[in-house]
Copies of this chain bind each other. A is one copy, B any other.
Amino acid sequence: MTYPMEKGLRERAARVIPGGMYGHQAVGALPEGYPQFFARAEGAWLWDADGNLLLDLMCAYGPQLFGYGNAKIDRAYVDQMATGDAMTGPSPLMVDLAEKMVSTIRHADWAMFCKNGSDATTMALMTARAHTGKNGVVRARGAYHGSQPWANPRPRGIAPGDKAEQHFCDYNDVASLEAAVATAGKNLAAIFAAPYRHDVFVDQTQPDAAYARRARELADETGALLIVDDVRAGFRMARDCSWSLVGVQPDLSCWGKAIANGHPISALVGADKARGAAETIYATGSFWFAAAAMAASLATLEQIHSTDYLERIILMGERLRSGFDKHARRHGFTLRQTGPAQMPLILFENDADMRLGYHWCSRMVAHGVYVHPWHNMFLSAAMTDENIDFALAAAEESFRELEQAAPTLGPNTRYPGPKRG
């Protein structure tokens, strides 16, 4: 691979964008050889700015569920844009979409639409505070609920007030959940929960049904609202809120990313219990009522209901996982593959500074497969068995190259995460 365009773009970006790039798509903490800029996307494939072709196992960090440039979904967007998009009021499609979300998500009796996942989690927080008249929040250490100040994972620019009245537990640890709820005392407004533990840098864990049930009980006992943040995993785990898999219904759930296959829309949905509070908060944004993304979301939900996309991405994920495992072992590596197969995370055993993982990922990209060393990946329904074969062939070659390189790999100075054992 060659990167002359990439090099020029980075030089220009360094002048007019702080740090050259910001946020979750900045490649500064990724292995060498990762392109920062992409010129084109189609189906399961990306082309970087220099025309290198990559099978994309990140799916835009989630939004792409049915493939880049999905014809039906994009057609719905374009047709609605030509009719009316951001207007002085919403289109009737907003009612159609709210009805569709309510009929799709079992716990939901109403829906509100916004733009960012962070909008939905912040509206959930506000709704819970309005519902209870209290302010305390219980959430799990390391769980990501967006980049707004109250949830921001980094300290810079955050004031103490932004995170006041928050109490932390460990995901799936019932005793620590109970302790955090006890710390909040009579001041509990909300218990936030990720649908499974999908924190960066560490092994993923499925939700323990006992933990989920206890969270439901504690919310009921205290009068707090139980909130599932399904922004990242929504509709990749179930055709319903992801905690339906463990039989627990939250009061509110937050959606984004994949609900319009990459078109910009997010949502807060809730049970009747929380409707009165949701009516009283002030939540709005310049583009929240725009119709084109709602049309795309309706077209996406149509495919969610009418296709076997979910079963297919699970099967492909399982084949990918067992293939990665086999190739790794053959070359002397032990992988820790965690999370749902369709949202895989791959870490290496005995790789404290991730030098093995980084080198392997670099080689994967060189062989045309975009993988991530420490953030869960995403499969899409645009992927085929042939794509999985392609990824596994790249993996085999990358493990072989890693085996040769491993003895001489130096410390990984790019790894930004916590120390690992």
Contacts and interface: CB of A to CB of B under 8 A. Distances in A.
Contacts of A163: 161
A78 interface: yes
Interface in A57-98: 58-64, 68-69, 74, 77-78, 81-92, 94-95, 98
Interface string A143-180: 00001111011101111111111000000000000000
Contacts of A333: none
Given A36-B90, A82-B69, A284-B147, A264 B290 contact: yes
B59 A88 contact: yes
A280 B60 CA distance: 23
A421 interface: no
Contacts of A126: 149, 152, 156-158
Interface in A276-317: 277-290, 293
Contacts of A56: 87-88
Nearest to A291: B38
Interface residues of A, number: 115
- Tallying the copies of this chain within the complex gives 2
Contacts of A125: 149, 157
B87 A46 contact: yes
A118 B262 CA distance: 21
Nearest to A49: B92
A11 to B, nearest CB: 10
Interface stretch (A21-29, A209-217, A381-389): A21-29
